[in-house]
Every structure is written in structure tokens, then in C-alpha cells.
A and B are shown apart, each in its own frame.
Chain A
Amino acid sequence: MTEIDREFLKRLIETFKIEAAEHISEISKGILALENGTDDKKKDAVVETVFRELHSLKGAARTVNLNDMGTICQAMEDIFSALKSGDATLSEREFDVLNETVDTLRTLLESMGTGETPASGKTYLSELIVKIHGISEPTGRIPSGTETEKKISEKKTEKSRHKMPARKKSGENKVSAPEKIADAESGTAEGVSSALSTSSGSAAAASKTVRVSTEKLERLMIQAEEMLLIKLRTKQHAFFTGDSLSLVEQWKKERHKIYSDVRKLEHFLQNKDRHPLQYREEKLLGFLEWSREQMNEIEARLKTLARAATEDYRSFSGMIDDLLDNSKKIIMLPFSILLDICPKVVRDLSHTSGKDAVIEITGEGIETDKRILDELKDPMIHLLRNAIDHGLERKEERIKTGKPAGGKISVTVSQLGGGKIKLCVSDDGRGIDRSRVAAAAVKKGIISQEAAGRLTEKESLQLVFQSGVSTSELITDLSGRGIGLPIVQEKVESLGGRVSISTQPGKGTIFEIMLPVTRTTSRVILIKSAARTFAVHTASVDRVVRVKEDQIRSVGKRAIIPVDGVNIPYRRIEEILGLQRSEQTEVSNGLTPVLIVASSNTKLALGIDEILLEQEALIKHLGPQLRRVRNIAGAIILGTGEIVPILNAGDLVKSAVLASAQGAVQRSISQMKKQRPKSVLVVEDSITTRTLMKNILEASGYRVTTTVDGIAAYTLVKSGEEFDIVVSDIDMPRMNGFDLTRKIRSTPNTEDLPVVLVTGLESREDWERGIDAGANAYIVKRSFDQSNLLEVIRRLI
């Protein structure tokens, strides 16, 4: 066991202890409730609860190699399983055994890590297990229990009625302890304090912390965030009343100008020498005077209102900022919540892929918003998979190139200034071959061959973030489908962060993720173009420049502008979004405002009509019907109630920088291809599987031909019948899947025909044989469900 392993196990045990204590307490409560007697309805619920707790405890215990505890739980589980299915009850003596068992579980837990075996010893345990098994034996012993139970149920106290253990809402029983923490699934109390408290159950720690479910905290957080809208609205109100006041002042100014004339008119009218004042004239003068007074009153009131509104805005803004700040602090957790799962992930992945890898983690104590950590879980696993599957070389290859046999993956968290955090995931593997990335992108039809040739090194590296681009030769259940990195990028950017990648052939690859410390309020820049308002995350805007039209140059078909000596691709926002550019906005001084937008390693100069302002905003989803809209990341609500769509910087850069290189021809060809239904050859000896696959594939619009073995399949393929893909079993009579694949590869005209091997064999060797034979994908039947197969086929043809 390495040092890291030991350390990991120690942490795992700490976590387990907290969890197990909870389970045991629930089990104990449940058993007591049953013993005291509950009515039938409740009884079922209690039995179910105890059963689930036992199951969870068993799983958790096995994760930390506490096999004794696992065995005991299993035995008890059997009893409760029997109780669940039948109407069996337990005798008093049997309850004694159960209670004794619970005590033993406690003893086992307490003695954990102390190096001592519980006083009772091994013999005791095995005796106990025999005793427990005695209970679960299905016999007619049950009636004797009913009597006891009846007796007890007569004495049923009020207390026992409340004995129903408050079961936490949790459907997951099988997750192991560390995963559970990392998940910090909503709804359970696994959260802040359980994850943070290092000494389990210590009374001192308990008095200083309170357990609150993360779900509750998150709801509170969301409500606090919603307050931002109030803040924005009070600001709007203050502005609006101030604006109204200035209207009155304007009126006063104008009135002042004609004041002397009005006076003269009054004098004239009131000149009794001329003629007596007419009734109408009197009315008119009265109205003028009344208007003046009225306006003065309005002014006075507006002044009060404006003052109050400004005051409100100030105090609201202060209070809401504090509220947000404090709420954010509540849900700040250390990165270890996320990173504790990494060693296990690395261990499991390196095991499956047959590579040696160690992981080194630093900076896990740095804290950040829990929701950021939650969101980072998927990206983190993708990056680790990526590092192990694509980054690290095989042992032999590493030794050949003079590297240590075991690969190293480093995960480093560091705090940067300005509320930013950097998360680095690096490996010391082979690095990324840019030309292969570009080739993969061409193959997927993402860019044209010609365009690929024009890409800079940076741009071609950038292609790894494109969906469907993978340099892996083989699609497996683990990786190779080219969807991991796009997910990483999307998640990170949705958090207001950025991911960048650098690689050195032969030395390794580094993924750098820059993140804000807290999630909540993002700042956005409001812009105007095509007579519409859009928002852009301030975080994704590098800078704002103003350029003269003649600074925009064109290189080939691409427009560029030089910024600080670097040429940046330039696009008008209307072009990207497919909008009509508005005519009237001819910029006065001939300068076009340009946002330099950055995503991953790539920058884009975005020409717009006008920059309005920068402000904080709460980003909202577009609702369930609009799951994802290209170039739009969400929307914000302004203080006025107006909705403004937020541009998705990642999409903009992708569609602008790469799509400009994308041949229109490429698209129409792939569209033409789509007209004809794709043809699939299914090779499978089992009639059931064959029929199933045929149905699945035909339901998805494929034309399906089936054959029973490799020879038959090969004959068909060689006969010149056109297939777009072959899906084959491995174990078949006459010619197996490997041989079929090899045959297909070595036959002219079919060497590029995609082959998917579907198999019940799940071993490293077979996987490798699959690669050697030249299969494009290898799906294990165990994990074979139709969406997986269809997904793989879609990717390949």
C-alpha cells in the first residue's frame, strides 16, 4: 500500500465512521420500534427502512474492507428481506439476537482503526452469524412470535408510536462512502458538517456545528439570489423617480421663462379700468395659479419619493449584498469534497485500462461555492478519464521513451487574486498530436480538409472541445466518443470560468480551469446590435476596443483585426446570429465597438453596434422546452422586467472561428448522405439477440441485414453489397468477431467499413484484441442498452 493509498483509506474510514454511525442508529431505532410493536402499516415502513439501512451499511462497510460488518449486515438483511415479503414476525429471543447484533456492529465500528479486534473475537462473530441465520430460516416458528408481539403491543406506549425513524430521502443505497460525500446529494444531511468534521462524533465539534440539509441551504441560496432582482428594481425605481423629478424641473424652467409674460397678462386682465374681469378670464387665471401650486406640490412629493427611492436602493443594495455574501459563505466547501473521489476514480480507471497511474493532489483545502464543486464533478471525471485513456501511454511505451513505468496525474488547486481559482489537471503522458486532432475533425465533417490545413496550432488544439472529435481509434464504454471535453468546456463556461489546454508532445498535457470563487451573481456587459439587446458574461470578455473600419483586414476569406500585435479573427455579431444588421447605426466617429471574446484558447473579435453598460445579473435558464439554444447561454431579467438573452461565448467562438473555416460543401454532402437510410449488417449467432438488435435498429431508421456467423457475414460483405456499418458478436461458430474484423480490414474496398464489436467478454485482453483486429468500437453487452449502441453507430456513420 502506498502512502497515498494509506492516506486515502484513512480519510475514507473517517467518512465511513460518520455514515455508519447514522445507519446503525437508524437500524437500532427500527428494531426497537418493531420489538415494541407497531401497527401493520407502520411496521412495513419500518422493516423497509431497516432493510435499506442495512443494505447501505453493508455497501459502505465493504468499501472500507470491513468484511465482518458486511457479513453481519448481509445476514440481517436476509431476515428483513423475509420480513418484507411475508407476514413473519419475530420472537422475543430473536429480537435479543438482533439487538445483540446491533451492539456488535457498534463495537466493530468503535474498534475500527484502533488496530484492536473487538473483545468478542472472531469465534464470537461466526457464532453470532449462525444465530442470525437461525432466524432467517423460513420455518413455522412464526406463531410463537405473534403471541409475544401481541402482549407487547398491548403495552404500546405513545412513545412507540413515534418510533418511526425519520428516514432520509435517499434512493441510493449502493454508493460508497466517498462518493456519497462528493455527491453531497441534495436531500440528505450529508453535507457541510459531516464532510467537514474531522473527529467523528466529538461532542465539542457537534456543539459548534449544525447539520442542515444541503437541499434546504440551496433553496435558501436561490431565494437570496432572487433578491438581486429586487435590488435591480429599486435601482430602476430610484432612477425613474429622479427622472420624473427632472421633468418637473424642466417644466419649472420653461415656466420661469414665460413668467414675466404671465404676470403682464394677469395685470392686463385685472386692469379694471379697461373692463371688469370676466368670469372666464378669472377661471383661467385661477387655473394658472392652481397649476403652479400643484406643480410645486408634485415637485415636493417627487423629491421626497426620489430621496426615499435612493435611500431604499442604498439600504436594499447593502442588505442584499450582505445577504448574498453570507449565503455564499455558508455554502463554501473545500475542494477536497470534489477531489477525494479522484484517487478512487484514477485507481479504477487505470485498472480497467491496464495502465499504472498515481495521482497527486494539492490545494484541496481551498474553499469554493458548493454548487461550483457539484458542477465540476462531471468535468473532473472526464478530465481524469481523458488523462488516463488518451494521455498516459502504456507501461512498455513509457519505459521505451525513458519515462517511469507509472504515469503521474496531478491535480492542483490554487487561489489567484481577484476572486479566482485555478484548477489544473495534468498528466505526464504523450501529449496531444495536433495533426491527429485536425484529422479527426475533418473526418467528422467539422472542418474541411482545406480549412484544416490553414488552422494554427492553437486552433487545431482547440478542436478537442468540438463535439465528436476524438483521436481515439476505438470507442469504448469509457471514452473515445469525443463528448467528454465539450462537456468540460460547457460546464466550466456556464460557471463563468474558462478552460484552456496546453500540450507538449511526449511530455504531457495540462488542462487549466479558471473559476470564480463564488457562483451567484455574474457581471454582464449589455450590448446592442441589430436593434436587439444582448448580454455577454464580463468574465468571457477579455477587453473592449474601438476600431476603424480600415483596421479590419482580410486574410484569405477571413477578416482579422490586430489587437496588441496579435491578429484576432473578426466577425459581426449579426452574421453569427443570423440577424439583419440595422442600418441606422452608423457609428458617429467611425469607430466600431468590438468585444474581444475568449473561450478556451481562442479569441474572437466581435463587432457590435453599441455597448450599453455593465451590471450584475442573475442568469436564468431558458426553461425546459429550450434545453440548449446555439449561441445563447441563458437570459437575464433587467430591473425594468425586460428579458435579455446572454450570448454563449464558447459557441460564438466555435461557430465563428471554426465555422468560417468549415466548407459549405462538406455540409451538403453529409446532408445528401442522410437521404438514403443507412445500412447495418448484424452478425450474431443468438436468434434472440439478433431479433432484438434488428428491431432496435430498424426502429431507428436503419436498414438491417442479419447473418448468423463471421463466414456468412464476410461472404455478404465481399459480395459487394453495400453496408455502412457492421455490428458483430465476438463468440460465434465458424468465424468469430475478431477474425471477421481482421478479414474486413484486409479486404480492399472494405478496409474503412466501421465495425462495432458487441460482446459479453469484458476483459482487457479482448479489448486489446478488438483494437488489434481493427474494430472501431467495442461495446460490452453487460452495459449494452439500445441507446448506447445507437449512439455509437450514430457517431461512426
Chain B
Amino acid sequence: MSQKEDSDVRVKNILRERAKKLAAWEATEAEKPGTETLILSVGNETYGIESKYIREVEILRELTPLPHVPAFVLGIVNHHGVIRSVIDLHRFFGLEGIPLDEYRQIVFIHSGMLEFGIAVSHVKEAVMIPTDKKRELPDTLKEIAGFIRCITQDQIALLDIEQLCTERRLIVYQEA
């Protein structure tokens, strides 16, 4: 392993630790005033993503698929002259994916070093969500509990973007 890679790994570990700490801090911070959150739907499920992680929302026009990539990577798009990958949240969670043509919009996420798009059916609104009212996850969401911060009264599953972005499985690295 080259020195650069060594230090890469170290940097990654540090970043991951830091991300965890920051996330933990956020959770307590968010208890009090509520957090600005974008409400969106993927198929029949409703999710919330904190606005601070959102770069932009765009209409999904053209998606260039790539060979070999895991099923949750739907393809790549041109985002202001930069290439961004677009992922299918449900397929990533291991849930059944919805048909491609039901994806209408892309929510571009940024967190730390990572930037990518999440394909969604519909972006509804941005609201302030008080996060103190935590609820038990319904059975349908049990398996993705790690990526859900909490469920609101209105059955909105708040995504834990930090957790998602530090998930190793998300990064595609394929040897030749």
C-alpha cells in the first residue's frame, strides 16, 4: 500500500469519526427548535432530508446508465457541467425498487467529501420539523433503521444523511 493510500485510509477514518461526532451533536441540537427539512417521496414512502445537506433539486431528464455498477446506482447525470451519480434509495436499502419512470426528480446531496443525487418520485415541501417526537419504526422500515434518524408524527422517515454517507457500501470501488 502506498503512503498516499495509507494516509487516505487514515484521513477517511478520521472523517468518519468526525462525521459520527457531528451527527451525534446534531441530534441533540435538533431536539430543541426543529430543523428545516425537505419532504419527498420515493414510491409510497415519505422521507425527510435536512435542508443543509441539499445542494439542489432538479427534474430528472436524462440518466446515463453504467455497466457493472450495483443496482442501486441508477446512472450518471450532467449537473452544471459536473458528473454526478444518482442512486436509488430503496434499492440501496435492499427494498424493492420502484419502476424507473416513476422517478421524476433528483435531490443532490452533499456531505463531507461526498456528493451525489438521490432519485425521488416527488419533492413535496420544505418544513420545520421538531425532532423531539420520536416514534417506533414501523415494521416495513425495520431493516433500514440504521439510516433513519426518526419517524415523525406524520409518518415521515427522517433520513440520517451522515450515516448514509459514511456507509462503506455506498462508495463504488471496483478493481479491474
The reply to whether A621 and B176 contact each other, CB–CB distance below 8 Å, is no
Q: Say whether, besides A628-B172, A632-B67, A623 and B81 are in contact (CB < 8 Å).
A: no
Q: Do A632 and B170 touch across chains, with their CB atoms under 8 A apart?
A: no
Is the CB–CB distance between B170 and A625 below 8 Å? yes
Cross-interface CB contact of A630 among B77, B83, B87, B174, cutoff 8 Å:
B174
Is there an interface contact between A635 and B83, defined as CB atoms closer than 8 Å?
yes
- Contact call A637/B78, Cβ cutoff below 8 A: yes
> Is the Cβ of A578 less than 8 Å from the Cβ of B1?
no
Residue B82, interface by CB 8 Å: yes
Q: Which residues of B contact A578 (CB under 8 A)?
A: 67-68
Which of B1, B73, B174 contacts A483 (CB under 8 A)?
B1
> In the complex the two chains form, is B171's CB within 8 Å of A788's CB?
no
In the complex, the answer to whether B172 meets A486 with C-beta atoms within 8 Å is no
Contact (A628, B1) CB under 8 Å given A577-B67, A643-B78: no
Provide the residues of chain A in CB contact with B83, threshold 8 Å: 620-623, 634-635, 637, 643
Contacts of A630 in B (CB 8 A): 68, 174-176
Interface size class of B (residues with CB under 8 A): 20 to 34
Q: Mark B158-176, 1 if CB is under 8 A from A, else 0.
A: 0000000000001111111
- Contact call A791/B1, Cβ cutoff below 8 A: yes
- Within the complex, the shortest CB–CB distance from B22 to chain A, in Å, comes to 18
CB closest residue in chain B, given A477: B1
Contacts of B10 in A (CB 8 A): 785, 787
A11–B81 alpha-carbon span in the complex (Å): 43
Determine whether B2 belongs to the interface, using a CB cutoff of 8 Å to chain A.
yes
CB <8 Å contact, A645 and B64:
yes
- Chain B residues with CB under 8 Å of A655's CB are 176
Counting CB contacts under 8 A, is A203 at the interface?
no
Kindly list chain B residues whose C-beta atoms are within 8 Å of the C-beta of A791.
1
Indicate with 1 or 0, residue by residue over A606-644, a CB within 8 angstroms of chain B CB atoms: 000000000000001111111111111011010001111
User: In the assembly, what is the distance between CA of A122 and CA of B148, in Å?
Assistant: 70
Distance between Cα atoms of A712 and B2 in the complex (Å): 35
Tell me if A579 counts as interface (CB < 8 A to partner B). Answer: yes
Q: Closest Cβ of chain A: how far from B12's Cβ, in Å?
A: 10
Shortest Cβ gap from B27 to chain A (Å): 24
**Are the C-beta atoms of B82 and A620 separated by less than 8 Å?**
yes
CB-CB nearest in chain B for A659: B176
Please judge, given known A-B contacts A643-B76, A650-B176, A655-B176, whether A378 and B4 are in contact too, CB under 8 Å.
Answer: yes
B115 touches A623 (CB 8 A): yes
Majority DSSP secondary structure for residues of B touching A: mixed
| Residues 577-625 of A at the B interface (beta carbon under 8 Å) | 577-579, 620-625
Cα–Cα distance between A378 and B5 once the two chains are bound (Å): 11
Is A561 an interface position by the 8 A CB rule?
A: no
A630 to B70, CA, bound (A): 11
List chain B residues, Cβ under 8 A from A466. Answer: 176
Q: Does A461 contact B (CB under 8 A)?
A: no
B6 near A629 (CB under 8 angstroms)? Answer: no
What 0/1 readout, one digit per residue, does chain B (52-80) give for beta carbons within 8 Å of chain A? 00000000001011111100010011100
The B109-163 residues at the A interface (CB cut-off 8 A) are 113-116
CA distance A69 to B77 in the complex (A): 56
| Contacts A630-B68, A655-B176; A623 near B78 (Cβ below 8 A) | no
Given known A229-B81, A787-B6, contact A577–B68 (CB-CB < 8 A) = yes
A 478-517 contacts with B by CB, 8 A: 481, 483-484, 486-487, 490
Instruction: Please name the residue on chain B nearest to A467 by beta carbon.
Output: B175
Among B2, B69, B84, residue most surrounded by chain A Cβ atoms (within 10 Å): B2
- Residues on A with C-beta less than 8 A from B2 are 378, 381-382, 483-484, 487
Alpha-carbon separation in the docked complex, A466 to B176 (Å): 8
B76→A623 contact, CB < 8 A: yes
A651 within 8 A of B: yes
A17 at the interface (CB under 8 A from B): no
CB <8 Å contact, B84 and A623: yes
CB pair B114 A637 closer than 8 Å:
no
Chain B CB within 8 A of A226 CB: yes
Interface string of A339-361 (1 = CB under 8 A from B): 00000000000000000000000
- Residues in chain B within 8 A of chain A (CB atoms): 1-2, 4, 6, 9-10, 62, 64-69, 73, 76-78, 81-85, 87, 113-116, 170-176
What are 7 contact pairs spanning A and B, CB under 8 A? A577-B67, A579-B67, A620-B82, A623-B82, A623-B85, A626-B76, A643-B76
Name 5 extra pairs, CB < 8 A, besides A645-B76, A650-B176.
Answer: A467-B176, A642-B62, A644-B64, A645-B64, A787-B10
4 nearest A-B residue pairs (beta carbon): A577-B67, A630-B174, A625-B116, A643-B64
